[in-house]
């Protein structure tokens, strides 16, 4: 069983934990960096990511000097809401051992990262498309093959869904609230927070049976038998306001 997470665009470079492993698809990453720099200009980069020119200029320069950047262990360096909620530095050695075995982080440059994999900071997005090139297409077959025999718990955001489209043995998690027989979502930061809480619970309890997740109620989110399916677990909150 593997637990899939989204990366964070925010990092706090880790200085406390220098034990690092080589990313799973380093050869493909090196090929991708060379391809992007050879075939796409700064304007292509800006257009493909739909960002402002100043932001594109900064991030394209970072990509151009990619191999001069310092490396950091992925799980300990991402610092967005989801990772702050999990707080990797608070995990025990046994909990980290579970995370090492079960957690995988999607990444536009590295494909998938394990918790101690060495990463260099970038702002490339899996939604990048330009001319006849798509990052989703670049990674899809490779990641599908790597994950083909795994049961997946998918906590990643929607942009990564195409990578798992053909995977049958998976559960995708949806968090929201019900109003007039429809499901509505909370803000992005609130969703990342509650995903982090559920992932942390799974890690701390070393869960290996996905069916156990139906019985988990955290922070007033409860499993919805009405909206859930075999491959989608829906958890509903009793409020329609922000969660924190």
Instruction: Provide the Cα torsion 52, 58, 62, 63; round to 10°.
Output: 30
Helix (H) or strand (E) holding 154: strand 152-154
pLDDT in the model for residue 149: 96
pLDDT in tens, 231-243: 999 999 987 666 6
pLDDT in tens, 128-166: 999 899 999 999 999 999 999 999 999 999 999 999 999
- Whether 141 is in a domain gets the answer yes
Domain that holds residue 106: 2-237
For 9-23, 46-60, 138-152, which range has the lowest pLDDT when averaged over its residues? Answer: 9-23
- Whether 50 is in a domain gets the answer yes
Tell me the mean pLDDT in the region 23-44: 96
- Whether 244 is in a domain gets the answer no
Residue 98 · residue 2 · CB < 8 Å:
no
- Whether 218 is in a domain gets the answer yes
Domain count, the chain: 1
Predicted confidence (pLDDT) at residue 208 exceeds the cutoff of 90 = yes
Predicted confidence (pLDDT) at residue 244 exceeds the cutoff of 70 = no
Tell me the mean pLDDT in the region 87-100: 96
- Whether 243 is in a domain gets the answer no
pLDDT in the model for residue 142: 96
Predicted confidence (pLDDT) at residue 177 exceeds the cutoff of 80 = yes
């Amino acid at each position: 069983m593997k637990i899939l997470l989204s990366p964070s665009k925010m990092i706090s470079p880790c200085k406390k934990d220098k034990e690092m492993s080589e990313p799973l698809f380093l050869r493909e990453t090196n090929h991708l960096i060379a391809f992007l720099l050879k075939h796409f200009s700064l304007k292509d980069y800006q257009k493909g990511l739909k960002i402002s020119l100043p932001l594109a200029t900064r991030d394209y320069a970072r990509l151009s000097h990619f191999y001069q950047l310092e490396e950091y262990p992925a799980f300990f360096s991402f610092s967005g809401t989801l990772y702050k909620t999990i707080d990797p530095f608070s995990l025990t050695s046994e909990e980290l051992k579970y995370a090492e075995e079960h957690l995988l982080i999607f990444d536009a440059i590295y494909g998938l990262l394990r918790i101690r994999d060495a990463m260099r900071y970038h702002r490339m997005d899996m939604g990048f498309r330009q001319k006849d090139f798509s990052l989703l297409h670049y990674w899809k077959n490779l990641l599908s093959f790597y994950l083909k025999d795994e049961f997946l718990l998918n906590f990643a955001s929607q942009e990564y869904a195409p990578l798992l489209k053909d995977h049958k043995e998976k559960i995708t998690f949806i968090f929201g609230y019900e109003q007039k027989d429809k499901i509505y979502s909370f803000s992005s930061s609130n969703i990342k927070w509650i995903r982090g809480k559920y992932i942390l619970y799974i890690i701390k309890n070393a869960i290996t049976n996905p069916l156990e997740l139906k019985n988990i109620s955290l922070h007033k989110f409860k499993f919805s038998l009405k909206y859930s399916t075999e491959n989608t677990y829906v958890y509903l909150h009793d409020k329609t306001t922000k969660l924190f």
